[in-house]
């Protein structure tokens, strides 16, 4: 358990350090990237389930964006696989419900349910990858701060930031309790359910106590409910940000409205 908690802390720290890069995508205004991600998610998720070829065109964006940000797409894909079991559970019922055959590959009949299932899986992976790209190239603090600048209520933006920051608090407290438990267990690896229930209760109490101390410290430093601007948070919207947002948004909308993959396949089949 201790090793897993340390891995979580290392992953969170790695995400924070990745947001301080100097790639072309890092230099794009956070508001432009946020709006672009919203356009990407809306157009991609609104694609019909049977339009699987169109989703493959949307898969190009995370790959190219990862290259522009100096990130390895393999790491991005690995992180997005966390959502795969939950998405698979949602799409599993399509396989059981839609059983009409769409096409055959040799002796294997591919039903509409399988196409819908793969489409749902791809949507889930692409959605998580787009959000990871936004966080890895912007930083969670800067993202929440710019959401507040764009008119999002301060209470909502602050709560989003606190949820992220308290992941550190919860993980650190759990790691300390795990180390104390291991020091008193004399090599024992398994524990009864009653012991785990006690640990969870103590973790909840310790987390609340630490959160109260942090809250009092924030109030003593003048926190008024709004996320303060620090460092380079006051980045200005440039012409290049407008160009990036307009061009990529137009590409996403064109894929959604014009269905170029279907048109290309129909043209090739007619020939």
**pLDDT given at position 186:** 64
**pLDDT given at position 266:** 66
**pLDDT given at position 200:** 81
Mean pLDDT of the chain: 84
**pLDDT given at position 32:** 93
Beta-carbon contacts of residue 46 (< 8 Å; ≥ 6 apart) = 256
Judged by average pLDDT, the poorest of 4-8, 44-48, 144-148 is: 4-8
**pLDDT given at position 235:** 67
What is the rounded CA–CA span in Å between residue 22 and residue 157?
Answer: 25
**pLDDT given at position 129:** 95
Give per-residue pLDDT as tens, 123-139. 999 999 999 999 999 98
Q: List b or e across 2-37, with b for residues whose CB sees 16 or more CB atoms inside 10 angstroms.
A: eeebeebeeebeebeebbeeeeebbebbbbbbbebb
Closest CA to 269 of 1, 13, 53: 53
**pLDDT given at position 241:** 92
Closest CA to 67 of 142, 143, 137: 137
Q: Where are the domains of the chain?
A: 20-138+239-257
pLDDT band at 269 (very low <50, low <70, confident <90, very high): low
Residue with tokens 């620090």: 230
Do 209 and 43 touch, CB atoms closer than 8 A?
A: no
Three-class secondary structure assignment of the chain: CHHHHHHHHHHHHHHHHHCCCCCHHHHCCHHHHHHHHHHHHHHHHCCCCCCHHHHHHHCHHHHHHHHHCCCCHHHHHHHHHHHHHHHHHHHHHHHHHCCCEEEEECCEEEEHHHHHHHHHHHHHHHHHHHHHHHHHHHCHHHHHHHHHHCCCCHHHHHHHHHHHHHHHHHHHHHHHHHHHHHHCCCCCCCCCHHHHHHHHHHHHHHHHHHHHHHHHHHHHCCCCCCCCCCCCCCCCCCHHHHHHHHHHHHHHHHHHHHCHHHHHHHHHHHC
Average pLDDT on 73-78 reads: 92
Give per-residue pLDDT as tens, 28-51. 999 999 999 999 999 999 988 888
- What value does the CA radius of gyration of the chain take, rounded to a whole number of Å? 23
Give per-residue pLDDT as tens, 169-203. 788 878 888 787 777 766 666 667 777 788 888 88
**pLDDT given at position 48:** 87
What is the rounded CA–CA span in Å between residue 109 and residue 112?
Answer: 10
**pLDDT given at position 73:** 93
pTM above 0.85, yes or no: no
Beta-carbon contacts of residue 229 (< 8 Å; ≥ 6 apart) = 145
Closest CA to 59 of 111, 136, 133, 138: 133
């Amino acid at each position: 358990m201790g090793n897993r908690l340390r891995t979580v802390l290392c992953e969170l720290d790695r995400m924070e350090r990745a947001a301080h890069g100097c790639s072309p995508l890092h230099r794009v205004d956070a508001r432009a990237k946020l709006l672009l991600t919203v356009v990407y998610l809306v157009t991609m998720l609104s694609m019909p389930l049977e339009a699987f070829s169109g989703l493959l065109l949307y898969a190009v964006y995370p790959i190219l964006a990862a290259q522009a940000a100096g990130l390895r797409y393999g790491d991005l894909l690995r992180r997005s696989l966390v959502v795969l079991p939950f998405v698979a559970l949602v799409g599993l019922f399509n396989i059981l419900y839609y059983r009409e055959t769409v096409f055959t590959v040799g002796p294997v009949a591919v039903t509409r349910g399988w196409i819908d299932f793969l489409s749902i899986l791809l949507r889930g992976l692409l959605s998580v990858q787009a959000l990871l790209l936004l966080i890895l190239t912007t930083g969670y603090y800067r993202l929440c701060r710019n959401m507040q600048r764009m008119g999002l209520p301060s209470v909502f933006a602050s709560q989003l930031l606190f949820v992220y920051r308290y992941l550190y608090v919860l993980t650190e407290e759990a790691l300390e309790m795990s180390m104390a438990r291991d020091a008193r267990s004399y090599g024992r690896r398994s524990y009864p359910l009653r012991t785990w229930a006690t640990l969870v209760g103590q973790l909840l109490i310790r987390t609340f106590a630490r959160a109260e101390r942090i809250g009092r410290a924030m109030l003593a430093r003048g926190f008024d409910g709004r996320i303060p601007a620090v460092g380079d948070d006051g980045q200005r919207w440039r012409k290049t940000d407008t160009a990036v947002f307009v061009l990529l948004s137009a590409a996403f909308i064109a894929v959604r409205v014009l269905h170029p993959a279907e048109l290309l396949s129909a043209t090739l089949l007619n020939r």
